[in-house]
Structure 1
Amino acid sequence: MSRVCDLTGKMAMAGFNVSHSNVKTKRKFYPNLQLQKFYIPEEDRWITLKVSTSAIKTINKIGITEAINRFVKKGYL
């Protein structure tokens, strides 16, 4: 599976490891993704999403249905 958040669309960024002698080698910065199950009471079912920790905090604050609606409205889904 790809390392992309299902809700926010966060993905890996490219960057460099920089040594003491200032030699640069390519590396990637991966987002903190977690597999999480959420219950949607309107549909009376569970869904499993791979979401970033910032998306989990947003879901805990506003609820799963409102979070999905906001992300759809912004164009992430």
Structure 2
Amino acid sequence: MSRICDLTGKATMVGNRVSHSNSKTKRKFYPNLQMKRFYLPDEDRWITLKVSTSAIKTINKIGITEAITRFINKGSI
């Protein structure tokens, strides 16, 4: 399974691990993804999404249906 948010499209980033001696080696920054079930009242069913915690906060603020339509219009999905 890939580490990509289903709504926002956030994915793994690559950067450097910098030691005390300033030597640099590659490392990965993983997004904070959670498996979460959401209820769609207009379709009367549950869906399971792998979403980032920032997407969960957005869904809690504006609602799941509005969040899905915003992310579709933005082009993230």
Q: Into which bin does the TM-score normalised by the smaller protein fall?
A: over 0.9
**% identity of equivalent residues:** 78
Q: Distance in 2 between matches of 1:66 and 1:19?
A: 44
Deviation at 1:58, TM superposition (A): 0.1
Deviation at 1:56, TM superposition (A): 0.1
Match of 1:66 in 2: 66
Secondary structure at the aligned position of 1:7 is classed as coil
Aligned CA-pair RMSD: 0.3
Unaligned 5+ residue runs, structure 1? none
What TM-score do you get using the length of structure 1 for normalisation? 0.99
Unaligned 5+ residue runs, structure 2? none
Deviation at 1:2, TM superposition (A): 0.3
Q: Distance in 2 between matches of 1:38 and 1:59?
A: 9
Match of 1:2 in 2: 2
Deviation >6 Å, runs of 4+: none
